[in-house]
Amino acid sequence: MITWILGHILAAGIGISLGLIGGGGSVLALPTLVYVMEIEPKSAVAMTLVIVGTVSLIGVIPHWKQGNVNLKTAFIFGSATMLGAFAGAKIANLPFITGNLQMLLFAIMMLLASGLMIRRSAKSTVKQPDISEIYTKPICKYCWLWLVSEGLGVGILTGLVGVGGGFAIIPALVILGNIPMKQAIGTSLVIIAANAVSGFVGYWGEVTLDWNIIASFIIAASIGTVLGAYLSQYVDGKKLQKYFGYFLLGVAALILFQNRSILEEFSPKRAADHNPNYQQILRI
């Protein structure tokens, strides 16, 4: 019972994060399902996609009312990410992609997301910067091609490890899609929801799902989103983003430690144990 309560408090934290800083919530869902609710990683990834996709879709509503959803850009970028998410889910179901490997990849993505959050918040505390100062503009003649290629990459990661990819989607929409930040946030939620649907279809029939936990997590996260949106009037989102970034850094380190066994598989000593000719191969 205590585990159930703790898991749902963290689920509410997913929504609060989305409401306060516009992202980061999806990276809380997977470790909560795996380490608190004790769900097998592959099933947890599929369940994360449903939870994150539903909460993101709910989050689109206020942005849609304010006119901050660019459907044309969402279609271009979203088509690529949906294709990538489906492919990522199919890759995740291959025999050599273990649950430990998925969690290791997830931890690496958390490290990247936390680093970006800390970097952006550090720049934001100095002054109110232009978006080009936060995201480096690439030199490209056909930016829409970069948009599509990045969409495929983000989609594959979504399907493979269940991250929403907002930390990569928003800068891509601003710099490559050339749309304002407010539109990028609203549009990214549409894309994340579409990715989640596509990735989940890729997992359908391959893993077992606990629909009771999915439903209760969606309710808790939705309540958290409303609470987060209310608290955003009183809390400095930029400072919170910095602290949240350090929190993600700690969680990523913990996940890496928990899955250190898979890193040992690639160590020279372990490889030599499995293959007596390892040293000879190295010399060649």
Alpha carbons 27 and 194: distance in angstroms, whole number: 17
pLDDT at residue 64, as a whole number: 86
Alpha carbons 53 and 31: distance in angstroms, whole number: 17
Instruction: Confirm whether 12 is domain-assigned.
Output: yes
- Helix axis angle, 143-161 relative to 166-175, nearest 10°? 170
Alpha carbons 190 and 125: distance in angstroms, whole number: 29
Sequence-distant (≥ 6) Cβ neighbours of residue 2 within 8 angstroms = none
Residue 148 has pLDDT above 80, yes or no: no
Position 72: which residue type? Answer: K
Alpha carbons 232 and 103: distance in angstroms, whole number: 31
Instruction: Confirm whether 128 is domain-assigned.
Output: no
Per 3-state DSSP, what percentage of the chain is helix, strand, and coil (rounded to 5)?
80, 0, 20
What pTM was computed for the model? 0.76
Q: How many residues does the chain have?
A: 284
Instruction: Confirm whether 106 is domain-assigned.
Output: yes
Instruction: Confirm whether 280 is domain-assigned.
Output: no
Q: What is the mean pLDDT of residues 177-184?
A: 76
Instruction: Confirm whether 218 is domain-assigned.
Output: yes
- Give the 3-state DSSP-derived string for 64-115, with helices as H, strands as E and coil as C: HHCCCCCHHHHHHHHHHHHHHHHHHHHHHCCCCCCHHHHHHHHHHHHHHHHH
- Helix axis angle, 99-126 relative to 166-175, nearest 10°? 50
3-class secondary-structure state, position 23: coil
Q: What is the mean pLDDT of residues 189-204?
A: 88
Position 43: which residue type? Answer: S
If you average pLDDT over every residue of the chain, what do you get?
76
pLDDT at residue 215, as a whole number: 94
Instruction: Confirm whether 274 is domain-assigned.
Output: no
Alpha carbons 168 and 191: distance in angstroms, whole number: 12
Q: Cβ(108)–Cβ(179) under 8 Å?
A: no
In the numeric block, the tokens 């609710």 are attached to 37
Q: Where are the alpha helices (DSSP H) in 204-259?
A: 211-231, 237-258
Instruction: Confirm whether 177 is domain-assigned.
Output: yes
Instruction: Confirm whether 276 is domain-assigned.
Output: no
pLDDT at residue 211, as a whole number: 92
Alpha carbons 234 and 229: distance in angstroms, whole number: 10
What count of other Cβ atoms lies within 10 Å of the Cβ of residue 254? 14
Q: Indicate the pLDDT class of residue 136, thresholds 50, 70 and 90.
A: very low
Q: Indicate the pLDDT class of residue 21, thresholds 50, 70 and 90.
A: low
What count of other Cβ atoms lies within 10 Å of the Cβ of residue 71? 11
- DSSP class of residue 206 equals T
Between 146 and 44, whose confidence is greater? 44
Q: Based on the structure, what is the number of domains in the chain?
A: 1
Residue 100 sits in which domain range? 1-123+140-264
The closest of 253, 234, 216, 284 to 12, measured between CA atoms, is 216
Q: What is the mean pLDDT of residues 178-192?
A: 81
First-to-last CA distance in the chain? 58
Tokens of 48: 């994360």
